[in-house]
Structures are given as C-alpha cells and as structure tokens.
Structure 1
Amino acid sequence: MGSGETGENTMQKVWGSTELEYAFMFTFKKVNALKLEDIKPFFRTLPVDPYIKGNYRFRRLSRFTISNDELIKLPHGYLYQSKSYNPLVGDIKREFAELDEELIKLDSFRKMVLAFSDSCKLHPEAEIGIHQIRTTCSPNNYGNPAPEGIHRDGTDFIGIFAVDRDNIQGGETHLYLERKEKPVFRKMLNPGELLLVNDHEFLHFTTPVKPELEQQGTRDVFVLTSPSLISD
C-alpha cells in the first residue's frame, strides 16, 4: 500500500464505474505504524470554530500536495462550499488557522496523509485539504460533529481519520445513498481507523456526542478532502 502502511480492510470494497481515476465507493481500514500519542497533544490547542454556534467545535485547516512521499504545504486560503452542499454555512468564505508546523513535521502525520492519497490513487498534483477538528461535549452541552446534517462536501474524495475518543457516547459515522433512506454503513470510528468515501456516491453524517461521565468529553478527527475546496 506504499508509505501510508495501511492494514487490511475490514470490509469489502465496492467498485464503481465513474469517470474518477479510482472509482471506489467507500472502504474502511486500520492505519498501522502511527504514533497517535504524538498527534493527540496538538488537538488541545485548536482555536474555536467561529462559524458554528455553541463554542463546542475547534478547528484548524491547511492544504497540501505530495511530492516523492513528502508533504508540500500550500499558501493560506479560504474554505468555500455552496449552500447546496452546506446549508448551514454555505456561500461563506471561511478562514481557519493553519495546522501547527510541529504537527506537520511528524512522521505519523505524513503517513496518515499518504494513506489517504495512496488509497484514493490521487494525481501527484492533487490538492488535499486537511481539517483538524475537535468536537467537545459536556453534561449541559452536547456536541454535534455534523451540524449541517446529512450532506456531501462537494469534493471527490473524503477521508475521516479518528485520533481519539475521550469520555463520549455517540459519534457514529453513517453513509447514505439518499437522505431519506437508512444508512448503508454505520460505525463508531476508533483511534487509528480511516474511512474513505467517494463524495459523488454517498452522503455522510456523524451522530451527536454526549459525555459518559459528568465531565467534558472530546472527539478528535482529521477530515481529508481532495480537491481541497480551498482557494486563495
């Protein structure tokens, strides 16, 4: 599988016939050889997402290309989705702080991005947007990882990589063929697990989180997209 060092898929791939170079529909796998303990501290310093009410979501965002298995960070830009894809904050140029430079230097971070790129068979010049997101919850304030509801992102490929779950219930990821149908896939993503989705084929959603104990809970993930949906 190349430098991403992914383990065997735990569910069968479903192959399509779209015009995309690599026409998988969705697949799920465990990414091996990552030191999650090196990555976890970088979620403690995320700025609050100013575009979502409630101050329960925290976020950074950067975009990259890959050259010879090395990450090349691209200039700062703005995230933009139309309201047809994101009815909550669509048609808004959203700006987030860049990923921490020390995080980007980690070999485990690089391997995670390569696992996404290798699995999707991305073109060497393809842009990858990497969203680092923490969703928090408390006994009086549940967290919503997908406040826009069941949706598409408006890109080609999506990867959801789970880093940590601490004192939470919920946060189950669903895939749908149609909004009003039952999900065709549902799973709680555990640390080190990666879900890859063809955004043209599926809508996705993650259920709200609430704490197991009477204290704060957190859900930490990276969401990777290609194209990045980021412009200068």
Structure 2
Amino acid sequence: MQKVWGLTELEYAFLFTLRKVNSINLEGFKQFFNELPVDPYIKGNYRLRRLSRFIVSRDNLIKLPHGYLFQSKAYNPLLGDVKREFAELDDALIELDIFKNLVLAFSDSCKLHPEAEIGVHQIRTICSPDNLGNPAPEGIHQDGTDFIAIFSVDRDNIQGGETHLYTAKKEKPVFSKILNPGELLLVNDHDFFHFTTPIKPLTDAQGTRDVFVLTSPSLLSE
C-alpha cells in the first residue's frame, strides 16, 4: 500500500488503496475486450467501450435497466453536459464468477451501502505507430462520484499508461504508477483528481490497454 502525509493505514485507506486481486483469472476477461464497440463520443476511434450498472444484494449482482451517462462540464470539460449512451456489457461476461468477484471486491473495499449503484465501464484504448492512445482525453479530472476503481486487465505491446492521483490539478501527483494486470486502484473521488498518461506501441504494431473502471454512484440515469 502507498503511504501519504503520514496518515495511519486505517485513515488513508479511505483516500486511495492499491491492491492485487489474486482471485481473478484475467484470461477469462480477454475475449470480451476483442468485441467492444467504438466509443462514438471520442474522435479518432482509438477508444472502445461498454457500460452497465448494478447493485449488490447479498453477494449477488443485480443488473439495472439501461441508462445514460451524464456528467457536468465542471467534471468533464470535454464531454460534460452531454447525454452519452453506450452498449451494455455482454451478458456472458456478466455471468462469469470472475466478473462478480471484481464488483464485490469494489463494493466490499469501499463499504458501499447495499442499494448503492455501481457503474462498470469496460474500456480498451488502442495505439499505433502513427497515433497515441489517450486513456484520459479530458485531462486531469474528477468523475463527480464518490468512489472510483481502475482494474487493469491487460497491457499488450504498449509503453506509458501511467496512472496519477493529485490533490489539486496544479499540484504534483501524490501517486504515480503503471497499473499491472490484476491490480486494482481504489480512489475517493472527493479527495483526488486522476489522470492516465497516453500510450504508444513498443514495436511497429498496434498496442492495447484493457481496463474496467467502476464508479459508485454509477452516474447513470434512465
């Protein structure tokens, strides 16, 4: 775990926590990232995305009706005040125990209320020798929710993609790390801004970065 400002482990755990989720076999996720549709709201066709929302009930996931993602410009200067719609997560993915384990790890770590909505974003960022991939085109930002988590599934033929946390936009980051596959970064969105640096290929071929981003509340509405 990362230490900040001399806080005790219990105190700072409510700010951000990095953990390895050993109970999840990442291979089970990878086929579903090959079937993602392009994010229609980002120019360049380098980001692919699906999005669904859930609640946890007695260690079971309940999928909620289709909704629309909405953030204000105060949180997303690039796409704020835009009602965005994404394809739902694949039903076969949702049925996997490893997917359930991921959402439960987020819910348990953040001590969410049983009826709290959880948004799960499935995102692939693509880069090529001619084009960088930008995981955070909106820049250093907050999401406008309570808790967020970034779970790294795969990094293929890429360099970069380092995740940073800041206490203020114009300050130096208090956390900087490339999230390796299987690592889960949990963040209190009220206390930190976050950003991930662009990616580029290691060789003369396409590269990809696959992650799940979880938020609570979900920021989705019908």
Percent identical among aligned pairs is 75
For 1:158, the aligned partner's letter is: I
State the partner residue of 2:2: 11
Cα offset for 1:68? 1.1
Is contact 1:14–1:26 with CA below 8 Å preserved after alignment? Answer: no
State the partner residue of 2:206: 216
* 1:23-172 correspondence to structure 2 within 5 Å: 24-172=14-162
Is contact 1:131–1:223 with CA below 8 Å preserved after alignment? Answer: yes
Specify every segment of 5 or more residues in structure 1 that has no aligned partner in the other structure, as ranges.
1-9, 17-22
For 1:125, the aligned partner's letter is: E
Is contact 1:79–1:229 with CA below 8 Å preserved after alignment? Answer: yes
State the partner residue of 1:6: none
Cα offset for 1:14? 6.2
State the partner residue of 1:4: none
Cα offset for 1:11? 3.0
TM-score, with length taken from structure 2:
0.96
Specify every segment of 5 or more residues in structure 2 that has no aligned partner in the other structure, as ranges.
4-8
Instruction: Give the distance between the partners of 1:105 and 1:51, measured in 2 at CA.
Output: 28
Instruction: Give the distance between the partners of 1:11 and 1:109, measured in 2 at CA.
Output: 26
Is contact 1:161–1:222 with CA below 8 Å preserved after alignment? Answer: yes
Question: Cα deviations across residues 107-134 of structure 1 (Å, max 9, x unaligned)?
Answer: 0010011000000000000000000000
Instruction: Give the distance between the partners of 2:140 and 2:24, measured in 1 at CA.
Output: 30
Aligned Cα root-mean-square deviation (Å): 1.0
TM-score, with length taken from structure 1:
0.92
